[in-house]
A and B are shown apart, each in its own frame.
Chain A
Amino acid sequence: MTFINKIISAFGQYSGRNAFCIEDTFYTYGDLLSISASIISKIENTCPGEQRIGIVVTDCIETYASIIALLLSGRTYIPIHPHHPADRTQQIIDQAELKVILAKGTDVQFSSVQNIDSTYTPSTTGPASYNLSQYPINLQQNAYILFTSGSTGIPKGVPITYNNLNSFVDAFFALGYNINENARFLQMFDLTFDLSVMSYLIPLCVGGCVYTISFKGMKFTNVYSVLEDHNITFALMVPSILANLRQYFQEIDLPELKYSLFCGEALNADITNEWRRCIPNAAIENVYGPTEATIFCLTYPVPADDSVSTYNGIISIGKEMQGMEAIVVNSDLQQLPDGEKGELCLYGPQLTSGYLDEQKSREAFFELNGKKYYKTGDIAYRNEQGDFMYSGRVDSQVKIQGYRVELSEIEFHLRQVAEPANAVAITINNKNGLAEIHAVIEGTTNITETLLNKLEQKVPAYMIPTEVHYIATFPLNTNGKTDRKELAKIFQQS
């Protein structure tokens, strides 16, 4: 059964049960179906032939109903973040060749496309006899396209097909989680981030309820409020949430939580052990996967005893999920034996067929033994238990609160302002142990205000440096290149 069939089945079986809780308002499966049907009707009435459609993603039922409407009708959705800079959004519109964008209300309008207001009023309900099965789904069609940080200053489009997503859903259920229509799932992610897809899609496949996080206020306090107030049973989070909550662990007791999953960043063993005391009845899992391999594709159930596999205090990313294959290769793309460190590469049905930009695909994919592998850029090795151990990056990609950031993308924009002075972006851990981006300029002329203004027009808020430092001359490593580690040491202490 495809995930689409599962959702259609849930609509039929659980019409009166809650599907979403958004800002403390509940929406049933019946409500979700009506709103989705109204959106499909609007599309069919205005642009029936349009396959790829953008959605301005906000924390409202129309946003989720728009996603469901596009998926049920076999279309492709491209999430557009309302607070990202206009330049970046336009690059996404251009790359995805969008002609139509759905948004709730008329506040956000794009001049280059047809804008459709997704606002739902009961009078716009779709036909009562709406036939959900009227759309044959082409599994090779893209279900969504997400854009990640690109090293050349232009976001990178990752298309994920219905087949990729279906493979993820099948592999997810094969993990054997005990979830059903009584499940209450946390959805804490921006919808431009693919961990959101698991957080809304899996509960809708079983008739469970999705609890979203308010965009207002601080994310980690909002996450905790929802976990506690709604007795969440299944929560996928980024480890940064734990770092923020850590000093309050003694006040936290979440006995209803059954599954606590982490993804998006390295998971430290010490904080995870402390977290376990807050969630006495939950299993903890560390899951891993790049957007290119559809949400996540490796899992590590973290044992409650001291047998947990770690490397430098970081918990293992585990073994492949059903259908996926992971290998480690050297710089000549030759497979390495277990125990040797190299670049982690992935193959299998969850893997995208390539980026929208074919040149980028040529750099990131390679063939070995007749299989097309994706080079993750993550350095790893496989231990004696067959679990993969993460040990760093081959490039300058970092994770900021789970968001994937290419430091070279930030540097591209920094240099546009700083030239002829040299400029780099580094990460520094703040006193709460959270990674921050700092910019370092070679020279003494203060250009901080101009730099930050420029960046605000080009990159999302999570990519803007927390601090800008100046240094007369950059330290160099033995290869004569800027020594970023040394710069991080210098400014970590300052």
Chain B
Amino acid sequence: MDEQQILQQVNTIFSRVLKQPNLSLTPASTANDVTGWTSLTHMILIDDIEVHFKVKFKLNEIMKFSNVGEMIACIHKKLNK
């Protein structure tokens, strides 16, 4: 799976959790740009992404997610190990 495919699937998860069917994430998207992406919803997003991709993030990895692109790069790396 390439990073573009991962982005599409992550977008679907964000849309569902944040209840925004028209959401369109880019690698540069941050919590400041996405309505509803708060501390409260962040862990739910992380949990759902872990279940969907069958990966497990470490705290140190989550701490480095400053935007969606970094999250996707981390997922990509784990899927291609």
Contacts and interface: CB of A to CB of B under 8 A. Distances in A.
- Answer yes or no: do A and B interact: yes
Interface of A: 216-221, 224-225, 240, 244-245, 248, 251-252, 401, 430-432, 434, 436, 461, 466-467
Contacts of A240: 39
A467 B19 contact: yes
Nearest to A240: B39
Nearest to A252: B59
Given A218-B39, A221-B63, A224-B63, A431 B44 contact: yes
Contact of A401 (B19, B39, B41, B62): B39
A122 B13 CA distance: 50
30 contacts: A216-B30, A216-B32, A216-B66, A217-B30, A217-B31, A217-B66, A218-B39, A219-B39, A220-B39, A221-B59, A221-B63, A221-B65, A224-B63, A225-B63, A240-B39, A245-B59, A248-B58, A248-B59, A248-B62, A251-B58, A251-B60, A252-B59, A430-B40, A431-B44, A432-B43, A434-B43, A436-B40, A461-B38, A466-B41, A467-B19
B76 interface: no
Interface residues of B, number: 20
A221 B32 contact: no
A434 B40 contact: yes
Given A216-B32, A248-B62, A434-B40, 16 more contacts: A216-B30, A217-B31, A221-B59, A221-B62, A221-B65, A225-B63, A240-B39, A251-B59, A251-B60, A252-B59, A401-B40, A431-B47, A461-B38, A466-B36, A466-B40, A467-B19
Among B44, B58, B63, chain A packs the most CB atoms within 10 A around the CB of B63
Given A224-B59, A225-B63, A244 B41 contact: no
Contacts of A225: 63
A244 B59 contact: no
